[in-house]
Amino acid sequence: MGDMSLRSSGAVLGMGHVGYALQSATVINFANPASYIAFDTLSCLVEGAFSIKTHTLRTGVVSQKGTTAYIDYLSIGTSITKWWKTAIGYQPFTNMTYDVTISDTIASLGSYETTYSGNGGLNEIYWGNAFQLCKGLSIGINASFIFGKYEKSRALNFENSNVVSVQIDGTNRTKGFYLTAGLQYMAPIKNKYLIGIGAVYTPLLKFWNKNIDLITTYLGDINAISPTLLDTLYPQEEVKKTYQMPQSAGIGLSWIKPDKFHLEVDFTWTNWSKYKEAGVRDTVLTDSYKFAFGGSFTPKYNSSNYFARITWNVGANYELTRLKFGNTQIERFGINFGVVFPLKKTKTCLGVILEYGQIGTLKNDLIKENYFSVMLNVRLHEKWYQRIKLD
């Protein structure tokens, strides 16, 4: 279905992807739905982000550069009662964009190219709710509807116009429901500090997929103005199958001084080895493990000096990803840095989050990616439920 999106807010990404034990009245923290309980009872939050990513893919022989731009998320959070807060939003769930060409020669048939390409992805619309059980303790749940379409194509193209080439184009439409439960406890300690504990869990879930393939046989170049088409056919009716999505669990621990600093460390485990497509396991997938640590610091949030009210974020993360080829499990490493600029006389703010990272390895004829991304994050904080008084 493509690469999994990070599915996190700008504040979480700026601190190295930590967020299980983060609560803030000015942040919609999707990483743990129990965090929504921190929303101001008299305010509404609207948050969104947009990113630009540049990357370089390398093998031991060649390299290739590229740039992508995309919307990260759009979400709204508000208060229902003092003990019940809610959030709704949209974000990508997976994304897919690839185009691979392999050239070779067969003595009796001549030169040929094998190509693989894909594009599309899945989207997520979620509704989250948090409930306060007692002072400092909250629980929450994100309920999401997943939907979207992605296309995959593979082709065998012979340069010799007397040899039959073939291309298979597959269209997949997928939908399903996704649930994540969360818990947070903020324990006060001396000198106005807090110790935060957070945990999240996603159970085994199923997605439903409809797939149909179109097979085309031709002579010469299929991309020519008038290709010589021999035949096109659907080999079978639309195929329906299910994906068994893996369970996942995460835990975080934070040390906080409200309106001053937040330090946190998180761990996430996802049971990708149990992922199944139409009841069949994918041998390339294995369990993933992610470690993240980071924090934020605001010199003086209520200062008359503007620069003292700027928040600085920094963090890093390391992950053994779900992909394993032979005995090599693909690793990911990232370093994050963020700056949050407050607007005057309001809690609305603008954020810039930078991330540099590496994925993969050049060992065993694999691919390594170096990337750099810039996220622009906007958080609107507006007062609600207040009557205007006239003199």
Q: How many CB atoms lie under 10 A from the CB of residue 77?
A: 28
Q: Evaluate if residue 344 carries a pLDDT over 60.
A: yes
Average pLDDT over residues 365-378: 95
Per-residue pLDDT tens for 298-332?
Answer: 999 888 899 999 999 999 999 999 999 988 999 99
Q: Evaluate if residue 52 carries a pLDDT over 60.
A: yes
In angstroms, the Cα distances linking 297 to 262, 276, 354, 368 are: 7, 43, 16, 33
User: Which three-class secondary structure state does DSSP give residue 364?
Assistant: helix
> What's residue 385's pLDDT?
57
Q: How far apart are CA 294 and CA 284, in angstroms?
A: 31
Q: Are 145 and 123 in contact, with CB atoms under 8 Å apart?
A: no
* Stronger pLDDT, 159 or 10, i.e. the higher one: 10
Within 8 A by CB and 6+ apart from 325, the residues are 284, 364, 366
Q: Find, among 349, 372, 348, the residue nearest to 359 by Cα.
A: 372
Q: Are 276 and 244 in contact, with CB atoms under 8 Å apart?
A: yes
Which of 88-92, 167-171, 188-192, 238-242 has maximum average pLDDT?
Answer: 88-92
User: Which three-class secondary structure state does DSSP give residue 303?
Assistant: coil
**pLDDT, averaged across the chain:** 91
**Backbone region of residue 20 per phi and psi (left: phi > 0; alpha: psi in -120 to 50; beta: other values):** alpha
Q: How far apart are CA 118 and CA 296, in angstroms?
A: 38
User: Which three-class secondary structure state does DSSP give residue 191?
Assistant: helix
Distance of CA 84 to the CA centre of its chain: 27
Lowest-pLDDT choice from 120-129, 161-170, 178-187, 200-209:
161-170
Q: Evaluate if residue 386 carries a pLDDT over 70.
A: no
Tell me how long the chain is.
391
In angstroms, the Cα distances linking 349 to 85, 343, 372 are: 21, 5, 23
Q: Evaluate if residue 362 carries a pLDDT over 80.
A: yes
